[in-house]
Amino acid sequence: MNSVAIAETTAPIMVGVVREAAPGERRVALTPTDVKRVATRTRVLVEQGAGESAGYSDAHYVEAGARIVDAAQIRTQADLLLAVRPPAQPQVLRRGSALISLGGRDAAITEVLAARGVLHLGLERIPRTTRAQSMDVLSSQASISGYASVIEGARLLDVLLPMLTTAAGIVRPAKMIALGAGVAGLQAIATARRLGAVVHGFDVREAAREQVESLGARFVFPEVEVSAEGNGGYAAAQSDAQQEQLRRALAAQIAQMQLVISSAQIPGKRAPILIDKQTVHGMAPGSVIVDLAAESGGNSSLTRADEIVEENGVRIYGPTNLPSLMATDASRLFSANVRALLEHLVDAEGRLHLDPADNITSALVGGQAATPTFPLAA
Protein backbone atom coordinates (compact mmCIF):
# COMPACT_ATOMS: atom_id res chain seq x y z
CA MET A 1 0.00 0.00 0.00
CA ASN A 2 1.42 3.37 -0.98
CA SER A 3 1.52 6.12 1.64
CA VAL A 4 1.00 9.64 0.31
CA ALA A 5 1.25 12.72 2.49
CA ILE A 6 -0.67 15.80 1.36
CA ALA A 7 1.10 19.09 2.07
CA GLU A 8 -0.53 21.45 4.55
CA THR A 9 -2.19 24.59 3.18
CA THR A 10 -4.59 27.22 4.42
CA ALA A 11 -8.30 27.10 3.66
CA PRO A 12 -9.75 27.40 1.14
CA ILE A 13 -7.67 24.99 -0.91
CA MET A 14 -6.23 25.99 -4.28
CA VAL A 15 -7.73 24.01 -7.17
CA GLY A 16 -5.85 23.98 -10.48
CA VAL A 17 -7.32 23.17 -13.90
CA VAL A 18 -4.62 21.68 -16.13
CA ARG A 19 -4.27 22.12 -19.87
CA GLU A 20 -4.38 18.68 -21.51
CA ALA A 21 -1.19 17.57 -23.25
CA ALA A 22 -2.19 14.12 -24.59
CA PRO A 23 -2.35 14.04 -28.42
CA GLY A 24 -5.91 14.56 -29.66
CA GLU A 25 -7.30 15.37 -26.20
CA ARG A 26 -9.47 18.48 -26.60
CA ARG A 27 -11.54 18.27 -23.41
CA VAL A 28 -11.04 20.32 -20.27
CA ALA A 29 -11.70 19.06 -16.74
CA LEU A 30 -13.66 22.08 -15.48
CA THR A 31 -15.67 24.60 -17.53
CA PRO A 32 -16.24 28.27 -16.60
CA THR A 33 -19.81 27.55 -15.49
CA ASP A 34 -18.59 25.05 -12.91
CA VAL A 35 -15.60 27.20 -11.95
CA LYS A 36 -18.12 29.83 -10.85
CA ARG A 37 -19.82 27.25 -8.64
CA VAL A 38 -16.71 25.79 -7.01
CA ALA A 39 -15.15 29.25 -6.57
CA THR A 40 -17.58 29.82 -3.70
CA ARG A 41 -15.62 27.30 -1.60
CA THR A 42 -12.17 27.08 -3.28
CA ARG A 43 -9.64 29.28 -5.02
CA VAL A 44 -9.31 28.33 -8.70
CA LEU A 45 -6.28 28.53 -10.96
CA VAL A 46 -6.61 27.73 -14.67
CA GLU A 47 -3.62 26.98 -16.87
CA GLN A 48 -3.42 29.38 -19.79
CA GLY A 49 -5.31 28.01 -22.80
CA ALA A 50 -6.72 25.04 -20.87
CA GLY A 51 -10.22 25.37 -22.34
CA GLU A 52 -9.47 26.74 -25.80
CA SER A 53 -9.79 23.42 -27.67
CA ALA A 54 -13.21 22.86 -26.08
CA GLY A 55 -14.44 26.37 -26.91
CA TYR A 56 -13.82 28.03 -23.51
CA SER A 57 -11.51 31.05 -23.57
CA ASP A 58 -9.29 32.36 -20.79
CA ALA A 59 -11.58 35.39 -20.60
CA HIS A 60 -14.54 33.11 -19.80
CA TYR A 61 -12.58 31.64 -16.88
CA VAL A 62 -11.59 35.06 -15.55
CA GLU A 63 -15.23 36.16 -15.66
CA ALA A 64 -16.13 33.03 -13.67
CA GLY A 65 -13.67 33.97 -10.91
CA ALA A 66 -10.55 32.00 -11.84
CA ARG A 67 -6.98 33.25 -12.14
CA ILE A 68 -5.05 32.38 -15.33
CA VAL A 69 -1.50 31.12 -14.73
CA ASP A 70 1.22 29.35 -16.69
CA ALA A 71 2.09 25.65 -16.44
CA ALA A 72 4.87 26.14 -13.89
CA GLN A 73 2.66 28.21 -11.58
CA ILE A 74 -0.19 25.74 -11.60
CA ARG A 75 2.16 22.88 -10.69
CA THR A 76 3.75 24.77 -7.80
CA GLN A 77 0.69 26.57 -6.40
CA ALA A 78 -2.28 24.19 -6.79
CA ASP A 79 -3.10 21.84 -3.93
CA LEU A 80 -5.64 19.83 -5.94
CA LEU A 81 -5.09 19.44 -9.68
CA LEU A 82 -7.96 18.65 -12.08
CA ALA A 83 -7.27 16.99 -15.42
CA VAL A 84 -9.01 14.74 -17.92
CA ARG A 85 -5.95 12.50 -18.30
CA PRO A 86 -2.96 12.22 -15.97
CA PRO A 87 0.06 14.30 -17.06
CA ALA A 88 2.66 12.67 -19.29
CA GLN A 89 5.38 13.78 -16.85
CA PRO A 90 3.95 13.18 -13.35
CA GLN A 91 7.38 13.78 -11.85
CA VAL A 92 6.89 17.53 -12.38
CA LEU A 93 3.86 17.65 -10.05
CA ARG A 94 4.41 19.17 -6.64
CA ARG A 95 5.07 16.68 -3.88
CA GLY A 96 2.15 16.66 -1.44
CA SER A 97 -0.48 17.70 -3.99
CA ALA A 98 -3.44 15.63 -5.19
CA LEU A 99 -4.69 14.86 -8.69
CA ILE A 100 -8.24 14.14 -9.85
CA SER A 101 -8.23 12.60 -13.34
CA LEU A 102 -8.83 9.47 -15.36
CA GLY A 103 -6.20 6.74 -15.20
CA GLY A 104 -7.43 5.20 -11.96
CA ARG A 105 -7.26 1.66 -13.36
CA ASP A 106 -3.68 2.07 -14.51
CA ALA A 107 -1.57 0.74 -11.64
CA ALA A 108 1.62 2.08 -13.23
CA ILE A 109 0.30 5.65 -13.22
CA THR A 110 -0.84 5.42 -9.61
CA GLU A 111 2.53 3.96 -8.61
CA VAL A 112 4.50 6.73 -10.32
CA LEU A 113 2.31 9.42 -8.74
CA ALA A 114 2.61 7.80 -5.32
CA ALA A 115 6.41 7.66 -5.67
CA ARG A 116 6.28 11.39 -6.36
CA GLY A 117 4.13 11.91 -3.28
CA VAL A 118 0.97 12.78 -5.23
CA LEU A 119 -2.39 11.32 -4.22
CA HIS A 120 -4.28 10.17 -7.33
CA LEU A 121 -8.07 10.18 -7.08
CA GLY A 122 -8.81 8.09 -10.19
CA LEU A 123 -12.21 8.89 -11.66
CA GLU A 124 -12.72 5.33 -12.97
CA ARG A 125 -12.87 4.18 -9.35
CA ILE A 126 -16.06 6.11 -8.55
CA PRO A 127 -18.62 3.45 -7.56
CA ARG A 128 -21.68 2.99 -9.74
CA THR A 129 -24.19 3.77 -7.02
CA THR A 130 -27.16 6.11 -6.90
CA ARG A 131 -25.31 8.34 -4.46
CA ALA A 132 -22.34 8.72 -6.81
CA GLN A 133 -24.34 8.96 -10.04
CA SER A 134 -23.75 12.70 -10.47
CA MET A 135 -19.97 12.08 -10.29
CA ASP A 136 -19.88 9.18 -12.77
CA VAL A 137 -17.53 10.41 -15.50
CA LEU A 138 -17.44 7.03 -17.25
CA SER A 139 -21.20 7.08 -17.84
CA SER A 140 -21.37 10.67 -19.07
CA GLN A 141 -18.48 10.17 -21.49
CA ALA A 142 -19.86 6.81 -22.64
CA SER A 143 -23.03 8.62 -23.71
CA ILE A 144 -20.94 10.86 -25.95
CA SER A 145 -19.03 7.85 -27.30
CA GLY A 146 -22.24 5.99 -28.12
CA TYR A 147 -23.59 8.93 -30.09
CA ALA A 148 -20.29 9.62 -31.86
CA SER A 149 -19.79 5.96 -32.76
CA VAL A 150 -22.92 5.97 -34.91
CA ILE A 151 -21.94 9.25 -36.57
CA GLU A 152 -18.47 7.88 -37.33
CA GLY A 153 -19.91 4.56 -38.47
CA ALA A 154 -22.34 6.30 -40.82
CA ARG A 155 -19.44 8.29 -42.26
CA LEU A 156 -17.51 5.10 -43.06
CA LEU A 157 -20.47 3.12 -44.44
CA ASP A 158 -21.03 2.65 -48.16
CA VAL A 159 -24.81 2.79 -47.62
CA LEU A 160 -27.25 5.22 -46.01
CA LEU A 161 -28.77 4.59 -42.60
CA PRO A 162 -32.33 5.80 -43.29
CA MET A 163 -34.81 4.67 -45.90
CA LEU A 164 -35.15 7.14 -48.79
CA THR A 165 -37.89 7.23 -51.39
CA THR A 166 -36.77 9.05 -54.51
CA ALA A 167 -37.74 9.28 -58.18
CA ALA A 168 -34.72 7.09 -58.89
CA GLY A 169 -35.94 4.37 -56.55
CA ILE A 170 -36.11 3.35 -52.91
CA VAL A 171 -33.06 3.11 -50.64
CA ARG A 172 -33.73 0.57 -47.93
CA PRO A 173 -32.64 1.37 -44.35
CA ALA A 174 -29.39 -0.10 -43.09
CA LYS A 175 -29.37 -2.65 -40.30
CA MET A 176 -27.37 -1.90 -37.17
CA ILE A 177 -26.60 -3.87 -34.01
CA ALA A 178 -25.12 -2.69 -30.72
CA LEU A 179 -23.10 -5.39 -28.97
CA GLY A 180 -23.27 -4.42 -25.32
CA ALA A 181 -26.26 -2.57 -23.87
CA GLY A 182 -24.44 -0.39 -21.38
CA VAL A 183 -24.55 3.41 -21.49
CA ALA A 184 -22.63 3.64 -24.79
CA GLY A 185 -24.56 0.84 -26.46
CA LEU A 186 -27.94 2.24 -25.49
CA GLN A 187 -26.97 5.70 -26.71
CA ALA A 188 -25.79 4.16 -30.00
CA ILE A 189 -29.15 2.40 -30.33
CA ALA A 190 -31.08 5.62 -29.69
CA THR A 191 -28.92 7.57 -32.16
CA ALA A 192 -29.16 4.97 -34.93
CA ARG A 193 -32.94 4.85 -34.45
CA ARG A 194 -33.15 8.63 -34.85
CA LEU A 195 -31.13 8.37 -38.05
CA GLY A 196 -33.56 5.80 -39.45
CA ALA A 197 -31.65 2.51 -39.23
CA VAL A 198 -33.28 -0.82 -38.38
CA VAL A 199 -31.73 -1.35 -34.96
CA HIS A 200 -30.88 -4.41 -32.87
CA GLY A 201 -29.22 -4.74 -29.48
CA PHE A 202 -27.36 -7.57 -27.77
CA ASP A 203 -26.09 -8.11 -24.25
CA VAL A 204 -25.16 -11.20 -22.25
CA ARG A 205 -27.35 -9.82 -19.46
CA GLU A 206 -30.97 -10.80 -20.02
CA ALA A 207 -31.87 -7.86 -17.76
CA ALA A 208 -30.81 -5.50 -20.58
CA ARG A 209 -33.70 -6.66 -22.80
CA GLU A 210 -36.18 -4.15 -21.37
CA GLN A 211 -33.81 -1.22 -21.89
CA VAL A 212 -33.04 -2.19 -25.49
CA GLU A 213 -36.69 -2.74 -26.39
CA SER A 214 -37.76 0.50 -24.71
CA LEU A 215 -35.68 2.33 -27.34
CA GLY A 216 -37.51 0.59 -30.19
CA ALA A 217 -34.78 -1.90 -31.00
CA ARG A 218 -35.03 -5.67 -31.29
CA PHE A 219 -33.19 -7.52 -28.52
CA VAL A 220 -30.97 -10.32 -29.80
CA PHE A 221 -30.23 -13.08 -27.30
CA PRO A 222 -28.84 -16.29 -28.84
CA GLU A 223 -30.04 -19.51 -27.26
CA VAL A 224 -26.78 -20.38 -25.53
CA GLU A 225 -25.77 -20.54 -21.87
CA VAL A 226 -24.00 -17.17 -21.70
CA SER A 227 -25.95 -14.98 -19.29
CA ALA A 228 -23.40 -13.22 -17.09
CA GLU A 229 -24.75 -10.50 -14.82
CA GLY A 230 -21.85 -8.74 -13.09
CA ASN A 231 -21.52 -6.01 -10.49
CA GLY A 232 -22.12 -2.30 -11.05
CA GLY A 233 -24.07 -2.78 -14.28
CA TYR A 234 -21.20 -4.55 -16.05
CA ALA A 235 -21.13 -8.06 -17.46
CA ALA A 236 -19.11 -10.72 -15.67
CA ALA A 237 -16.11 -12.40 -17.26
CA GLN A 238 -16.69 -15.59 -19.25
CA SER A 239 -14.52 -18.60 -19.99
CA ASP A 240 -12.82 -19.05 -23.38
CA ALA A 241 -15.30 -21.81 -24.22
CA GLN A 242 -18.27 -19.57 -23.39
CA GLN A 243 -16.85 -16.77 -25.52
CA GLU A 244 -16.35 -19.12 -28.47
CA GLN A 245 -19.90 -20.42 -28.10
CA LEU A 246 -21.20 -16.86 -28.06
CA ARG A 247 -19.15 -15.80 -31.10
CA ARG A 248 -20.55 -18.63 -33.20
CA ALA A 249 -24.10 -17.89 -32.05
CA LEU A 250 -23.74 -14.17 -32.86
CA ALA A 251 -22.05 -14.65 -36.22
CA ALA A 252 -25.32 -15.30 -38.07
CA GLN A 253 -26.88 -12.13 -36.64
CA ILE A 254 -23.82 -9.97 -37.36
CA ALA A 255 -23.70 -11.23 -40.97
CA GLN A 256 -27.05 -9.50 -41.59
CA MET A 257 -25.86 -6.10 -40.32
CA GLN A 258 -24.24 -3.24 -42.17
CA LEU A 259 -23.16 -1.38 -39.00
CA VAL A 260 -21.93 -2.96 -35.77
CA ILE A 261 -21.24 -0.85 -32.68
CA SER A 262 -19.38 -2.88 -30.08
CA SER A 263 -18.89 -1.71 -26.49
CA ALA A 264 -18.70 -4.84 -24.31
CA GLN A 265 -16.15 -4.38 -21.52
CA ILE A 266 -15.29 -5.90 -18.13
CA PRO A 267 -13.57 -3.56 -15.63
CA GLY A 268 -9.92 -4.40 -15.07
CA LYS A 269 -9.87 -7.14 -17.73
CA ARG A 270 -9.34 -7.47 -21.45
CA ALA A 271 -12.50 -6.84 -23.44
CA PRO A 272 -14.21 -10.08 -24.57
CA ILE A 273 -13.75 -11.10 -28.21
CA LEU A 274 -17.22 -11.11 -29.78
CA ILE A 275 -16.17 -10.78 -33.44
CA ASP A 276 -13.38 -12.92 -34.87
CA LYS A 277 -11.95 -13.06 -38.38
CA GLN A 278 -14.40 -15.79 -39.40
CA THR A 279 -17.34 -13.57 -38.41
CA VAL A 280 -15.93 -10.60 -40.32
CA HIS A 281 -15.59 -12.74 -43.44
CA GLY A 282 -19.29 -13.54 -43.17
CA MET A 283 -20.25 -9.84 -43.35
CA ALA A 284 -21.09 -8.02 -46.57
CA PRO A 285 -18.30 -5.89 -48.10
CA GLY A 286 -18.83 -2.22 -47.24
CA SER A 287 -20.02 -3.02 -43.71
CA VAL A 288 -18.47 -1.22 -40.75
CA ILE A 289 -17.57 -2.21 -37.18
CA VAL A 290 -16.92 0.57 -34.67
CA ASP A 291 -15.20 -1.04 -31.69
CA LEU A 292 -15.56 1.15 -28.58
CA ALA A 293 -13.65 -1.41 -26.52
CA ALA A 294 -10.43 -0.78 -28.46
CA GLU A 295 -8.63 0.76 -25.48
CA SER A 296 -8.99 -2.48 -23.51
CA GLY A 297 -8.07 -4.76 -26.41
CA GLY A 298 -11.20 -4.61 -28.54
CA ASN A 299 -14.27 -6.79 -29.06
CA SER A 300 -12.94 -7.73 -32.50
CA SER A 301 -9.79 -9.79 -32.88
CA LEU A 302 -8.85 -7.49 -35.80
CA THR A 303 -9.21 -4.18 -33.95
CA ARG A 304 -6.22 -1.84 -33.72
CA ALA A 305 -6.53 1.16 -31.43
CA ASP A 306 -7.22 4.42 -33.29
CA GLU A 307 -6.85 2.78 -36.70
CA ILE A 308 -9.21 1.70 -39.49
CA VAL A 309 -8.45 -1.87 -40.53
CA GLU A 310 -9.99 -3.30 -43.70
CA GLU A 311 -10.59 -7.04 -43.87
CA ASN A 312 -12.49 -8.68 -46.75
CA GLY A 313 -14.09 -5.34 -47.59
CA VAL A 314 -15.25 -4.69 -43.99
CA ARG A 315 -13.88 -1.66 -42.14
CA ILE A 316 -13.04 -2.10 -38.43
CA TYR A 317 -12.49 1.18 -36.59
CA GLY A 318 -11.14 1.21 -33.02
CA PRO A 319 -11.40 4.77 -31.62
CA THR A 320 -10.18 5.33 -28.06
CA ASN A 321 -11.28 8.92 -27.47
CA LEU A 322 -14.49 9.73 -29.32
CA PRO A 323 -15.68 12.26 -26.70
CA SER A 324 -12.91 14.62 -27.83
CA LEU A 325 -14.65 14.91 -31.20
CA MET A 326 -17.51 16.62 -29.33
CA ALA A 327 -15.19 18.45 -26.94
CA THR A 328 -17.53 21.24 -25.87
CA ASP A 329 -20.41 19.07 -24.66
CA ALA A 330 -18.10 16.28 -23.52
CA SER A 331 -16.24 18.82 -21.35
CA ARG A 332 -19.51 20.23 -20.03
CA LEU A 333 -20.62 16.78 -18.83
CA PHE A 334 -17.15 15.82 -17.54
CA SER A 335 -16.96 19.13 -15.67
CA ALA A 336 -20.37 18.66 -14.07
CA ASN A 337 -19.21 15.26 -12.75
CA VAL A 338 -15.99 16.75 -11.37
CA ARG A 339 -17.83 19.67 -9.80
CA ALA A 340 -20.22 17.26 -8.05
CA LEU A 341 -17.21 15.34 -6.75
CA LEU A 342 -15.58 18.53 -5.46
CA GLU A 343 -18.80 19.46 -3.69
CA HIS A 344 -18.66 16.05 -2.04
CA LEU A 345 -14.99 16.25 -1.02
CA VAL A 346 -14.65 19.95 -0.12
CA ASP A 347 -16.77 21.53 2.61
CA ALA A 348 -18.23 25.06 2.67
CA GLU A 349 -15.05 26.43 4.32
CA GLY A 350 -12.86 25.03 1.56
CA ARG A 351 -11.39 22.14 3.52
CA LEU A 352 -10.78 18.76 1.89
CA HIS A 353 -12.63 15.90 3.54
CA LEU A 354 -11.13 12.46 2.88
CA ASP A 355 -13.22 10.17 5.04
CA PRO A 356 -12.05 6.53 4.77
CA ALA A 357 -15.48 5.40 5.99
CA ASP A 358 -17.15 7.05 3.00
CA ASN A 359 -17.56 4.55 0.15
CA ILE A 360 -17.01 7.17 -2.56
CA THR A 361 -13.81 8.52 -1.01
CA SER A 362 -12.40 5.09 -0.16
CA ALA A 363 -13.02 3.91 -3.74
CA LEU A 364 -11.29 6.99 -5.17
CA VAL A 365 -8.23 6.57 -2.98
CA GLY A 366 -8.09 2.99 -4.26
CA GLY A 367 -5.80 1.44 -1.67
CA GLN A 368 -3.44 4.39 -1.32
CA ALA A 369 -2.75 5.15 2.34
CA ALA A 370 -3.26 8.90 2.30
CA THR A 371 -2.24 11.01 5.29
CA PRO A 372 -3.72 14.33 4.15
CA THR A 373 -2.85 17.54 5.90
CA PHE A 374 -4.85 19.76 3.57
CA PRO A 375 -7.33 21.96 5.45
CA LEU A 376 -9.51 19.06 6.58
CA ALA A 377 -13.05 19.01 7.85
CA ALA A 378 -13.16 17.79 11.41
CA triplet 357, 366, 74: central angle to 5 degrees?
105
Nearest in space to 81 (alpha carbons), one of 170, 54, 69, 149: 69
- Report how far residue 16's alpha carbon sits from residue 33's, in angstroms, rounded to the nearest whole number: 15
234 is catalytic: yes
Phi, psi of 14 (to 5 degrees): -95, 120
317 is catalytic: no
Of 133, 134, 243, 362, catalytic: 133
Of 77, 134, 139, 362, catalytic: 139
- Report how far residue 362's alpha carbon sits from residue 133's, in angstroms, rounded to the nearest whole number: 16
Instruction: Specify burial of residue 222 (Cβ count, 10 A radius: 0-12, 13-18, 19+).
Output: middle
Of 79, 97, 125, 136, catalytic: 136
- Report how far residue 30's alpha carbon sits from residue 51's, in angstroms, rounded to the nearest whole number: 8
Of 56, 61, 234, 317, catalytic: 234
Nearest in space to 258 (alpha carbons), one of 341, 372, 374, 154: 154
Of 67, 85, 105, 128, catalytic: 128
291 is catalytic: no
- Report how far residue 19's alpha carbon sits from residue 24's, in angstroms, rounded to the nearest whole number: 12
Instruction: Specify burial of residue 3 (Cβ count, 10 A radius: 0-12, 13-18, 19+).
Output: exposed
Is residue 16 within 8 A of residue 289, CB to CB? The reply is no
Point out the residues that are catalytic: 128, 133, 136, 139, 234
